[in-house]
Chains A and B, each alone.
Chain A
Amino acid sequence: MKLVGRAWVFDDDINTDLLYPAACFRLPVEERPALTMSANRPGWSREVRPGDLLVAGTNFGTGSSRPAADNLKALGVAGVVAESINGLFFRNAINTGLPVLEAPGVRAFVREGTRVEIDLDTGAIRSEGRTLNVRPLPGFLARILAEGGILPRLRKEGYID
């Protein structure tokens, strides 16, 4: 799977309370994405465009099990690449069909606003004529992503309606 888009760059420790504030639980599902990053970067949820990519520092998605990746997906974010990613956020992202990749070195490699190309299967990240090579996404996770997340798979296997 290949992703190409404009990069938004965030720092270390972007947590799930920033991605999916508690106020979301009291709102209808369609109103939740507008609150994404409202505490740390007010207005961002209106500026981000479908197909944009999110680049971040270490420990991205630290925090709770809330479906934080859903907000990013609903805003049209095409994928997240970060220096390191919290395991629970990583799993939630794959399961909801949001591409994610751990890429040590990516925070300094990408400048905000530039066009970035990410090849999840080879681990090659291209930006401004340079390439950063990281460990690709393991095949079985790439397959869940390709199927659109875990629910389509469970439906196909007859576990859910």
Chain B
Amino acid sequence: MSRPQTQIERTLSLHATEAPGRPVEPEEFVEVEVDRLVLLDMAATHPEFLAHLPRRVHRPERVAWVFDHLVPAPTVELASGLVKLRELAARWGITSVFDIGRGGISHPLMAEKGWVRPGEILANTDSHTCAAGALGCAGRGVGMLEVMSILSTGRTWFRVGETVRASLSGHLAPGVAGKDVFLSLAGEFGAIPGRNIEFAGDGIAGLPIPTRQAIATMCAEISAEFALFPPDARALDYVRARVPADEPLAPVRADPDASYAAEWRVDLSGVEPLVALPNRVARNVRLVSEVAGVTITRAVVGSCANGTIEDLEAVANVLRGRRVHPGVVFTVTPTTSDVMAEAARRGLIDTIVAAGALVTSPTCGACFGGHMGVLGDGEVCVTSTTRNFQGRMGSPNAKIYLASSATVAASAVAGCLADPRGLEGKRP
């Protein structure tokens, strides 16, 4: 009898370059074939990349290049970097270039464009690539140097980590979001460097794909290696609608008797709006109601985790018929061009702008303190982006609270941290 495999163990085992299909075990290192690779515009800022270009690219049709962090380019140097990357893509035969105005933030964008497929291995430089796990795809951020290696060879390695199972039951209450589910896990269980997380339980079926994406994306903040949802009917429907009909999917599931290093249980019905206090995420989480009233100067909705149509809808539902507090600057960043177009069609952008908030083009800008609204000294920000680290969004003397988009919008109206429940008109 071969050892029962978790979803991630099975996925890695099937991609192994040696003896594919042989069961793998925690602590083992496995060399694997990578199905798809995503490069970012950040490549232009890497100290080694442009100086040591790969001579040729392995399977350029399986490589996407996404411009998301430095767009629209805030400096001449960065704009010139993008010029070089466009030339390189053409030279290497990479045709899937998602340029300004035709793309968005890589993780949600790749899912939207059918590049995130269950059972596959997706590599990207960026840490939040675990977002792909929402669709049962083993996505992993591997850094620029490893991406240079994968560009050349099509292969990489992973250390098989132990896996934690997070069993979800029940239904989310109105005004409570995927971000709150993640924060409840991060607050209670803390970081799990080197380990994976697999979601299970009958609570999953009721979670829309953007909610799952928010949860999987945020698992980077507990240092999870992979964060996988099972490829259920809802996930498969989402993917099939985006993948050419003649390309079969090969979803991978955990064996029913697979063993896990730990079992976390979450009753979704009991999750309340939460906030991570400044500077760290893991074990630094409070109920919004406990910190309500803290004065804020900035509110941000966006990022790979929380700029989806679900987020913009939650924001619009709070802002409809209300005004952003005069002491608050509120910026809202849709994740992708398609999300922006959809939000415009549904009138969400009208509602948000009419309330006195700024809607920006899709970009990572503010989330990593790069551009498009960095924080100044002494500012206090509540954000639905991914990180609250000191200095993350600009000045090291600013404070960052992390919360759901609904909580951010409610706080933007109140001028201080505020619970969104009761303010949100209707759930999408």
The B-contacting residues of A in range 1-18, CB under 8 angstroms, are 13, 15, 17-18
Do A151 and B148 form a contact, CB below 8 Å, given A38-B396, A39-B390, A86-B193?
yes
Of A45-53, A109-117, A125-133, A152-160, the one contacting chain B is A152-160
Known A-B contacts A87-B225, A88-B143, A91-B142; the reply to A63 vs B52 at CB < 8 A is: no
Complex interface bits, A65-84 against B, C-beta within 8 A gives 1, otherwise 0: 11100100000000000001
Residues from chain B with Cβ under 8 Å of A84 in the complex? 191, 193-194, 223
Question: Nearest chain A CB to B41's CB is how many angstroms away?
Answer: 11
**Interface status of B45 (Cβ within 8 A of chain A):** yes
Q: How many residues of A contact B (CB 8 A)?
A: 43
Interface residues of B in 183-200 (CB under 8 A from A): 191, 193-194
Q: Is B322 an interface residue (CB 8 A)?
A: no
Tell me the bound Cα distance from A26 to B78 in angstroms: 8
A150 CB contact (under 8 Å) in B145, B369, B389, B394 = B145
Find the residue from A26, A65, A158 having the highest chain B CB count within 10 A.
A65
Kindly state whether residue B368 has any CB partner on chain A within 8 Å: yes
User: What residues on A are CB-neighbors of B368 within 8 Å?
Assistant: 22, 64
Q: Which residues from A are CB-within-8-Å of B107?
A: none
A62-B191 in contact (CB<8A): yes
Asked if B80 is at the interface (CB within 8 A of a chain A CB), the reply is no
Residues on A with C-beta less than 8 A from B259 are none
A85 located at the interface, meaning its Cβ lies under 8 Å from any Cβ of chain B in the complex: yes
Tell whether, in the assembled complex, residue A13 and residue B127 are in contact, meaning their CB atoms are under 8 Å apart: no
Q: How far is the CA of A161 from the CA of B51 in the complex (A)?
A: 9
Q: Which of A17, A38, A85 has the most CB of B within 10 A?
A: A17
| Contact, CB under 8 Å: B396 / A85 | no
- Binary per-residue interface labels of chain B (125-140) against chain A in the complex, 1 for a CB within 8 Å, 0 otherwise: 1110000000000000
Known A22-B370, A29-B47, A87-B159; contact A40-B148, beta-carbon cutoff 8 A:
no
B127 lies within 8 A of A88 (CB): yes
- Is the beta-carbon distance between A58 and B191 smaller than 8 angstroms? yes
Check B46 for interface membership: any CB of A closer than 8 A.
Answer: yes
> Contacting B282 at CB < 8 Å: which of A59, A151, A159?
A59
B280 at the interface (CB under 8 A from A): yes
A17-60 near B? 1/0 per residue, CB < 8 Å: 11001110110010000000011100000000000000000110
A87 to B29, CA, bound (A): 13
B48 located at the interface, meaning its Cβ lies under 8 Å from any Cβ of chain A in the complex: yes
Check B47 against A140 for contact (C-beta < 8 Å). Answer: no
Determine whether B112 belongs to the interface, using a CB cutoff of 8 Å to chain A. no
Q: Are A95 and B146 in contact (CB under 8 A)?
A: yes
| Residue A149 CB within 8 A of the other chain | yes
CB A142 to nearest CB in B, in angstroms, measures 12
Instruction: Report the bound CA distance from A105 to B412 in whole Å.
Output: 44
Given A58-B191, A64-B368, is A25 in contact with B146 using a C-beta cutoff of 8 Å? no
Q: Contact at B191–A87, with CB atoms within 8 Å? A: no
Which chain A residue shows the least CB distance to B221? A62
**Is residue B53 within 8 Å, beta carbon to beta carbon, of the partner chain?**
yes
Within 8 Å by CB of A154, from B46, B78, B148, lies B148
A159 to B396, CA, bound (A): 41
Contact A140 to B280, CB < 8 A, known contacts A62-B221, A96-B145: no
Given contacts A151-B145, A161-B53, contact A22 B191 (CB under 8 A): no
B149 at the interface (CB under 8 A from A): yes
- Chain A residues positioned under 8 Å from B53 (CB to CB): 160-161
Contact B392 A17 (CB under 8 A): yes
Are B127 and A39 in touch, CB under 8 angstroms?
Answer: no
Q: How far is the CA of A160 from the CA of B48 in the complex (A)?
A: 11
Q: Is B72 located at the chain interface by the 8 A CB criterion?
A: no
A150 vs B54: C-alpha distance when bound (angstroms): 13
List 15 additional contacts besides A84-B193, A159-B153; criterion CB under 8 Å: A13-B191, A15-B387, A22-B370, A25-B42, A58-B193, A88-B127, A88-B143, A95-B143, A102-B194, A138-B29, A155-B52, A159-B55, A160-B55, A161-B52, A161-B55
Q: Measuring CB to CB, which residues of chain B are less than 8 angstroms from any residue of chain A? A: 29, 42, 45-48, 52-55, 70, 75, 77-78, 125-127, 141-146, 148-149, 152-153, 157, 159, 161, 191, 193-194, 221, 223, 225, 280, 282, 368-370, 387, 389-392, 394, 396
Contact sample, A vs B, 24 pairs, CB 8 Å cutoff: A13-B280, A18-B391, A25-B42, A25-B45, A25-B370, A26-B77, A38-B396, A39-B390, A39-B396, A59-B223, A62-B193, A63-B127, A64-B368, A65-B125, A65-B142, A84-B223, A87-B225, A95-B146, A102-B194, A150-B146, A154-B149, A158-B55, A159-B149, A159-B153
The 7 closest A-B pairs by CB, nearest first: A39-B396, A95-B145, A159-B152, A22-B369, A39-B391, A17-B389, A92-B143
